[in-house]
Amino acid sequence: MLAIRNINELLIVPPGPVPGRAMRHIETLRSAAVLLDDERIAWFGPDADCDPPAGCPTLDAAGGCVLPGLIDCHTHTVFAGARADEFVRRLEGATYAQIAEAGGGIRRTVEAVRAATGDGLVALAQPRIQRMLANGVTTLEIKSGYGLNVDDELKMLLAIRRLQAHTPVELVATYLAAHTTPRERAGRADEYLDTVLAPAVLARIRDERLAEFCDVFCERTAFTVEQARRVLTTARQYGLIPRLHADQITQMGASALAAEVGALSADHLETIDDGGIDALKRAGTVPVLLPGCSFFLGVEQAPARRLLEADLPVALATDHNPGSCMIESLPLVMGIACTQMRLTPTEVVVAATANAAAALNRRHQVGAIAVGMQADLVVLDVPDHQSWMYELGRNCVRSVVKKGKVVVGLTW
């Protein structure tokens, strides 16, 4: 049992998916308290009505704001190597294609990941995940996709599995072998896909529960719609739920494919068109926007307001990766969504909690304040969530509770 008292503003985020037009109207409670019974939310209401059992430990919110633990539903946080020099070259005017031709880009990260041991990958990712937790993230999706051969892709998935023992953050693994075609199979994408979609490989991922999702980068420089369809439908036969990188740079109809294969989410969507919006809506696919990526690259953002006005349950994630977005902080990305996409602070909170939970097939477990939901909560040192987004870039997290236990901050 744990009581969280002295909350100035409790954001009563409902379970997702919350449709776009409902995202800006979330009920709040002033002078509130929450009671946790083991791993679950047992009660919430006015602090004056809070009646914890004798000896119940208390977490003093000190007049701060409390909301569900954040969910980062799209990251590439397991990687090796750094590409700061490419960041500078881009600022100096080099294009992504020029950097790739000079040996840079994603294939450089692939070389570093192949050279790393599983232990090495775990040691590199662990402090990143710790910092994400300190920023309020309690559920984190991580993709493979820098191994680009069977052994190194499995090494990445096993590293994600092992990281779970080092953190209270719930980790969710996605198999992204179809990130790009490796250098040694350039021009032979189908042959590469034969290897990473081999029945023995997918059966091992299923039997050892190494991943829940299968993702594919559907893009002119990566895989066609036909190839992406093959990846997702093959993986689904082994229980992997489809999701995809869609409509980032080139409009190829990837959102329509997401709808066709019943993908749980379609992520990026910088170039989505009206047909794609209609397709996602019909299929109930969650659009996951990654404004940190466009911000980091200095390019056009996805049409977030159009997606919200179409009543789609928009989610937000960092896309943390060494090439196109080194931003680890989901709250910073939420602030970027406010200033660059014109989302309100309430909308971004819903996008990074209830709707992100829906994008990870966890809408009944996390991302909401409701009796019986898992007790994943963030306590902020600001009085309300508007002040949190206003203080763009400062870590305002005072305490984090995961499954009813205080994992950041102190209990009194």
How far is it, in rounded angstroms, from Cα 50 to Cα 37?
14
Which of the stretches 8-16, 77-85, 318-326, 327-335 binds Zn ion when contact is defined by CB under 5 A?
Answer: 318-326
Size of the site for Zn ion (CB under 5 A): 1
Q: Which of 207, 121, 210 is nearest to 166 (CA)?
A: 121
Name the residue whose CB lies closest to Zn ion: 319
Confirm or reject binding of residue 319 to Zn ion (CB under 5 A): yes
For Zn ion, give the closer residue by CB, 60 or 267: 267
CB of 21 to Zn ion, least distance (A): 27
Q: What are phi and psi of 150, to 5 degrees?
A: -60, -50
Contact status, residue 71 vs residue 139, Cβ threshold 8 Å:
yes
Stretch near Zn ion under the rule CB under 5 A, chosen from 25-33, 150-158, 191-199, 313-321: 313-321
Least spacing, CB of residue 47 vs Zn ion, in Å: 41
x/- mask, Zn ion, residues 264-303, rule CB under 5 A, reads ----------------------------------------
Closest by CA to 227, choosing from 237, 216, 235, is 216
**Residue nearer to Zn ion on the CB measure, 5 or 143:** 143
Closer CB to Zn ion, 176 or 205, in the complex:
176
- Cβ contact 35:45 at 8 Å: no
Rounded to a whole number of angstroms, the minimum distance from the CB of residue 99 to Zn ion is 18
Q: Quote the DSSP letter at residue 52.
A: P
Determine the Cα angle at 69 with ends 126 and 82, to 5°.
Answer: 30
Answer whether 289's CB lies under 8 Å from 314's CB: yes
Q: How far is the CB of 245 from Zn ion (least distance, A)?
A: 6
Min CB(129)–Zn ion separation in Å: 17
CB of 72 to Zn ion, least distance (A): 12
Q: Output 319 or 376, the one with its CB closest to Zn ion.
A: 319
Pairwise CA distance, residues 49 & 344, whole Å: 31
CB nearer to Zn ion: give 144 or 374: 144
Whole-angstrom Cα Rg for the chain: 21
Q: CA–CA distance from 356 to each of 96, 110, 199, 348, 394 (Å)?
A: 29, 28, 31, 10, 22
* Using rule CB under 5 A, residue 152 touches Zn ion: no
Distance separating alpha carbons of residues 44 and 42, to the nearest angstrom = 7
Q: Which is nearer to Zn ion, 319 or 347 (CB)?
A: 319
Binding site for Zn ion (CB under 5 A): 319
